[in-house]
Structure 1
């Protein structure tokens, strides 16, 4: 095993849980887990700790809001209360509104299925633009979604954003997308990207 391989193994061992996994999402190319990842990406975009964002995502799922229609069927106050139970209190009211508006947009434009958004996107830049049409999803949220989804949407890979590259450099790993992608399988790229992001924050 080369020194780089050893470094990758160490980084994955220490930090290699994806944010989706931490939030209890078994990511697959299906409407519900993809929607839950979109919600998680929105929550992680705010200036709030990642652990609180993940806890709020888990609470929204536990409350049954695993599809855009279920999110719409919940009242605004139901969403505020679920966010509060996840300790996501600083932005709870604004976020509850954005969750409702985003769910409505997803139902109206894509029939509630993010795979339709993916199919209609013109490459990764198009995917990023379409994701940013959702309330609360800016460049950061789009990057989070793309980093995590590339394991189930292989055409997105290798997706390596600025934050992941910062972490890769800090961890002593290569700092180009192609070199990083060559270190692991496409299925493991989300784990490596999450590890790099956590290394950047450490």
Structure 2
């Protein structure tokens, strides 16, 4: 199986973004972008991705879909939403981080991550640095956000973090972002990056499926 065929198999079998799994219809609008940031916060602890996405869905179902709603919510309500998704061990500290992060977004970017994007001026490193000012978002969380946000912020493309590039190498695919980007259409880059991560977490792989 050639690299293009492996890429196609990955998209077919694993090509669902984590934003989609969390119920986020990602667009370049304040609420979906904020929900993606919340998902990145939730994925930044040592917890399974399916639990993180379930926790995101619980928070959003509770109406916590904007920085204002999150900032105005009770800390215990955030803890309870995380608990319903079995987001344990990190529920209390994450509830605190979500509240602090929402207030930071309101104070610094008026609740609109597109303002953060404008500040970065098309520079991915500058954008990642600003993201890491948000409580609980470190390099991994910033990578998760950028990996998914490239679907709506073209200046991030192609974005493949260390985890997705390592998974690509294990499958015999190019390790460089440019090499991987050559295998799929630009609009599929976010799905492809997610597929590589999902494949690395699954028992099977595109190579194993033939």
TM-score by length of 2: 0.93
- 1:89-104 aligned at under 5 Å gives the runs 89-104=88-103
Q: Displacement, 1:200? A: 2.4
The whole-number CA distance in structure 2 between the counterparts of 1:41 and 1:75 is 21
Paired residues in the alignment total 201
- What is residue 3 of structure 1 aligned with on the other side? 2
Distance in 1 between residues matched to 2:46 and 2:35, nearest whole Å: 20
Give the C-alpha shift of residue 170 in structure 1.
Answer: 1.8
Corresponding residue of 2:70: 71
Could you list the runs of 5+ residues in structure 1 that have no partner in the other structure? none
Q: 1:20·1:148 contact (CA, 8 Å) conserved in 2?
A: yes
Q: How many Å separate the matches in 1 of 2:78 and 2:117? A: 27
TM-score by length of 1: 0.97
Q: Which runs of 5+ in 2 are unaligned?
A: 203-210
1:171 Cα offset (Å): 2.2
Counterpart CA distance in 2 for 1:5 and 1:174 is 11
CA distance in 2, matches of 1:190, 1:116: 22
The residue number in structure 2 matching 1:25 is: 24
Question: Counterparts of 2:67 and 2:148 in 1: how far apart (Å)?
Answer: 19
Match of 1:15 in 2: 14
Is the deviation greater in 4-13 or in 90-99? Answer: 4-13
Q: CA deviation at 1:173?
A: 1.6
Q: How does 1:83-162 map to 2 (within 5 A)?
A: 83-122=82-121, 123-162=123-162
Q: How far has the Cα of 1:90 moved from its partner?
A: 1.3
Question: Deviation string for 1:150-169 (max 9, x for gaps)?
Answer: 01000011111110101111
Q: What is the alpha-carbon distance in structure 1 between the residues aligned to residue 96 and residue 113 of structure 2? A: 20
1:114-149 Cα deviation digits (max 9, x unpaired): 000001014000001000000000000000000000
Aligned to 2:52: 53
Structure 1 CA distance, aligned partners of 2:168 and 2:78? 36
Q: Which moved more, 1:12-21 or 1:108-117?
A: 12-21
User: Does the aligned pair in 2 maintain the 1:121–1:127 contact within 8 Å?
Assistant: yes
